[in-house]
Structure 1
Amino acid sequence: MQKIIAPSIGTTLDRFIKNRQLHFPYATGELSQLLQDIALACKILNRDVNKAGLVDINGDLGNFNIQGEAQQKLDVIADDRMIRALTNGGQVCAILSEERDELIEVNNESHYIVAMDPLDGSSNIDVGVSIGTIFSIYRRLSEPGEPVNTKDVLQKGKNQIAAGYVLYGSSTMLVYTTGYGVNGFTYEPSLGEFVLSHQNIRSPENGKIYSINEGGYRSFENPIREYINFCKDQKYSARYVGSLVSDFHRNLIKGGIYIYPKSNQAPHGKLRLMYEANALAFIAEQSGGMASDGCTRIMEIQPIEFHQRSPLFIGSKNMVIKALSYID
Structure 2
Amino acid sequence: MSNITLSRYLEQKKGNLTPALASVIHAIIHSCKIIDRLLQKGAIEGVLGSAENENIQGETQKKLDVISNQELIDILQSHPSVGGLASEELDTFTAAQENGDYLVLFDPLDGSSNIDINMCVGTIFSILPAKNTITQANDFMQPGVNQVAAGYVLYGPSTMLALTIGAGVALFTFDIDSKEFILSKDNITIDTSTQEFAINMSNQRHWEAPVQRYIGELLEGKTGVRKKDFNMRWVACMVGDIHRILCRGGIFMYPYDLKNPEKAGRLRLMYEANPMSMMIEQAGGSATTGRMRILEIEPTELHQRVPVILGATDEVNLVTGYH
| Matched residue SS, 1:307 | coil
CA distance in 2, matches of 1:126, 1:188: 24
Q: Deviations over 1:272-322 (max 9, x none)?
A: 001100000000000000000111100000000000000000111111111
| Matched residue SS, 2:66 | helix
Q: Which residue of 2 aligns with 1:247?
A: 241
- Structure 1 runs not aligned, ≥5 long: 1-7
- Pair 1:102 & 2:92 matched: yes
Q: Which residue of 2 aligns with 1:260?
A: 254
Instruction: Find the partner of 1:273 among 269, 274, 281.
Output: 269
- Decide whether the 8 Å contact of 1:163 with 1:177 is kept in 2: yes
Q: Deviations over 1:184-209 (max 9, x none)?
A: 10000110000000111111111111
Q: Which residue of 2 aligns with 1:203?
A: 190
CA distance in 2, matches of 1:126, 1:90: 36
CA distance in 2, matches of 1:128, 1:264: 32
Q: Greater shift after overlay, 264-273 or 132-141?
A: 264-273
- Pair 1:88 & 2:81 matched: no
| Matched residue SS, 2:10 | helix
Q: Which residue of 2 aligns with 1:11?
A: 4
CA distance in 1, matches of 2:2, 2:147: 26
Q: Which residue of 2 aligns with 1:48?
A: 38
| Matched residue SS, 1:52 | helix
Q: Which residue of 2 aligns with 1:137?
A: 127
Q: Deviations over 1:197-225 (max 9, x none)?
A: 01111111111111000001111112211
Shift of 1:28: 5.3
1:143-222 to 2 correspondences below 5 Å? 144=133, 147-222=134-209
CA distance in 1, matches of 2:190, 2:44: 37
CA distance in 2, matches of 1:115, 1:73: 20
CA distance in 2, matches of 1:118, 1:182: 21
TM-score, normalization by structure 1: 0.93
- Structure 2 runs not aligned, ≥5 long: 222-228
CA distance in 1, matches of 2:3, 2:141: 37
Shift of 1:27: 7.0
CA distance in 2, matches of 1:303, 1:9: 39
Q: Which residue of 2 aligns with 1:238?
A: 232
- Decide whether the 8 Å contact of 2:78 with 2:97 is kept in 1: no
CA distance in 2, matches of 1:172, 1:90: 28
Q: Deviations over 1:87-111 (max 9, x none)?
A: 2332211111011111100112211
Distance 1:28 1:213, change over 3 A: closer
Say what the alpha-carbon RMSD is for the aligned residues. Answer: 1.5
Instruction: Find the partner of 2:289 among 290, 293, 300.
Output: 293
CA distance in 1, matches of 2:103, 2:131: 10
- Decide whether the 8 Å contact of 1:10 with 1:197 is kept in 2: no
CA distance in 2, matches of 1:252, 1:175: 9
Shift of 1:265: 2.3
Percent pairwise identity: 40
Amino acid paired to 1:274: M
| Matched residue SS, 2:107 | strand
Q: Which residue of 1 aligns with 2:225?
A: none
Shift of 1:53: 2.4
TM-score, normalization by structure 2: 0.94
Instruction: Find the partner of 1:308 among 300, 304, 308.
Output: 304
Amino acid paired to 1:306: L
- Decide whether the 8 Å contact of 1:131 with 1:167 is kept in 2: yes
Which stretches of structure 1, 4 residues or longer, exceed 6 Å deviation after superposition? none
CA distance in 2, matches of 1:94, 1:168: 26
Q: Greater shift after overlay, 297-306 or 47-56?
A: 47-56
Shift of 1:170: 1.1
- Decide whether the 8 Å contact of 1:207 with 1:316 is kept in 2: yes
- Decide whether the 8 Å contact of 1:252 with 1:316 is kept in 2: no
- Decide whether the 8 Å contact of 2:78 with 2:96 is kept in 1: no
CA distance in 1, matches of 2:17, 2:235: 39
| Matched residue SS, 1:53 | helix
